[in-house]
């Protein structure tokens, strides 16, 4: 495993290759029968399926004995989640994060890969195939960004800003709860609210890069959505913790109903956690 952690670009190269071959080649070129529903409103495309297959062929070969856990494989066989309970390293893959956007020919959508062992995320990568931007992190070694293919990666150093100048992402219902919470709390500050992207990977990227600052994710927390992003945010100086216990998110072999708060600056955690807790009291 150490060889991979010393050379994170080897994983990023695979992500670029798979994105070019299996995802971007199909963007805005999907036939009607290339799109289906896993459940009402939850889309899957041939790009999701074929890119996950390609990752299954390539990623495990980087670390002998490692396994692959993908979103689409889990949908077909939920028992694959139990790979996280074993000792072997596990590659967790969301082959097309933001499938709704992708299927409708819109941005953003991302590719997410995390490397996990004993429930701890050792490394995480997020790639935006449309822009070429990527962010990644190795546990304990900071977070890095690449603005385009061929550029030199740089360590992420987020700009310090006052909590009052920050931005959070929320949908309509959550927006209303945040506004209600801020009204009810003494001296509460409500960050500027921007609309959810329908692509959690791009939201994690933008929190790491400082474009936005906070997010709240709840209900069934799926590791292919959050394992990589939570590590990246923590490694660039933020927090990605459960709201109730205030302990870091970890990839577990069960999908539970929990809430995590994400903030790009750990100094903002107290204000952010309090706001989310108040907002969630209205559920």
State the CATH number of the domain containing residue 39. Answer: 3.30.540.10
* pLDDT score of 3: 80
Question: Are both 12 and 59 inside the same structural domain?
Answer: yes
pLDDT in tens, 52-65: 999 999 999 999 99
More confident residue, 75 or 93: 93
- Name the pLDDT band for 28 (thresholds 50, 70, 90): very high
Determine contact, residues 124/141, Cβ cutoff 8 Å. no
What tokens were used for 39?
């459940």
Question: Are both 140 and 260 inside the same structural domain?
Answer: no
| Residues whose CB falls within 8 Å of the CB of residue 219, separated by 6 or more in sequence, listed in order | 257
Burial (CB < 10 A; 0-12, 13-18, 19+), residue 29, is: exposed
- Name the pLDDT band for 149 (thresholds 50, 70, 90): low
What tokens were used for 98?
């933001």
* pLDDT score of 241: 98
Single residue among 128, 155, 182 that ends a domain in this structure: 155
- Name the pLDDT band for 82 (thresholds 50, 70, 90): very high
Tell me the pLDDT of the chain averaged across its residues: 95
What is the domain extent for residue 112?
A: 2-155
Judged against a pLDDT cut of 80, whether residue 254 lies above it is answered with yes
pLDDT in tens, 102-113: 999 999 999 999
Flag the least confident range among 6-10, 115-119, 135-139.
6-10
Flag the least confident range among 38-42, 139-143, 174-178, 187-191.
38-42
Question: Are both 12 and 150 inside the same structural domain?
Answer: yes
Question: Are both 171 and 253 inside the same structural domain?
Answer: yes
Question: Are both 125 and 213 inside the same structural domain?
Answer: no
Determine contact, residues 105/194, Cβ cutoff 8 Å. no
CA distance 248 to 233: 11
For the chain, percent of residues with pLDDT exceeding 90: 89
Distance of CA 226 to the CA centre of its chain: 4
Residue 64 to residues 16, 52, 89, 97: CA-CA distances in angstroms?
22, 19, 9, 27
Question: Are both 140 and 10 inside the same structural domain?
Answer: yes
Question: Are both 178 and 208 inside the same structural domain?
Answer: yes
* pLDDT score of 182: 97
Single residue among 99, 133, 155 that ends a domain in this structure: 155
Single residue among 130, 155, 180 that ends a domain in this structure: 155
DSSP secondary structure code for residue 160 in this structure = P
Question: Are both 9 and 127 inside the same structural domain?
Answer: yes
Question: Are both 12 and 133 inside the same structural domain?
Answer: yes
Question: Are both 81 and 144 inside the same structural domain?
Answer: yes
Judged against a pLDDT cut of 80, whether residue 238 lies above it is answered with yes
* pLDDT score of 39: 77
* pLDDT score of 152: 85
Question: Are both 177 and 263 inside the same structural domain?
Answer: yes
Question: Are both 171 and 105 inside the same structural domain?
Answer: no
In the chain, how many domains are there? 2
- Residue-wise over 226-249: b if at least 16 C-beta within 10 A, else e? bbbbbbbbbbbbbbbbbbeeeeeb
More confident residue, 90 or 187: 90
Query: CATH number of the domain that 264 lies in?
Result: 3.40.190.80
């Amino acid at each position: 495993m150490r060889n991979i952690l010393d050379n994170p670009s080897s994983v990023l190269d695979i992500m670029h290759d798979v994105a070019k071959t299996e995802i971007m080649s199909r963007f805005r070129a999907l036939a009607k029968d290339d799109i289906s529903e896993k459940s009402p409103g939850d889309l899957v495309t041939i790009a999701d399926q074929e890119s996950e297959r390609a990752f299954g062929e390539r990623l495990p070969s980087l670390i002998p004995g490692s396994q692959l856990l993908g979103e689409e494989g889990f949908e077909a066989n939920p028992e694959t989640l139990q790979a996280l309970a074993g000792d072997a390293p596990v590659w967790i893959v969301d082959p097309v994060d933001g499938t709704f956007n992708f299927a409708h020919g819109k941005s953003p959508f991302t590719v997410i890969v995390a490397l996990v062992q004993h429930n701890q995320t050792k490394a995480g990568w997020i790639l935006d195939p449309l822009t070429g931007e990527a962010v990644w992190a190795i546990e304990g070694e900071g977070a890095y960004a690449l603005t385009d293919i061929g550029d030199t990666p740089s360590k992420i150093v987020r700009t310090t800003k006052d909590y009052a100048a920050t931005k959070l992402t929320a949908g309509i219902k959550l927006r209303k709860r945040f506004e209600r919470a801020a009204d009810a709390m003494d001296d509460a500050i409500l960050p500027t609210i921007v609309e959810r992207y329908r692509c959690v990977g791009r939201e994690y990227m933008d929190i790491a890069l400082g474009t936005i600052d906070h997010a709240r994710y709840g209900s069934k927390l799926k590791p292919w959505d959050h394992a990589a992003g939570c590590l990246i945010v923590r490694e660039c100086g933020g927090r990605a913790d459960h709201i109730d216990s205030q302990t870091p998110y970890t990839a577990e072999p069960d999908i539970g109903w929990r809430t995590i708060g994400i903030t790009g600056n750990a100094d903002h955690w107290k204000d952010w956690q309090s706001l989310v807790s108040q907002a969630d009291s209205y559920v």
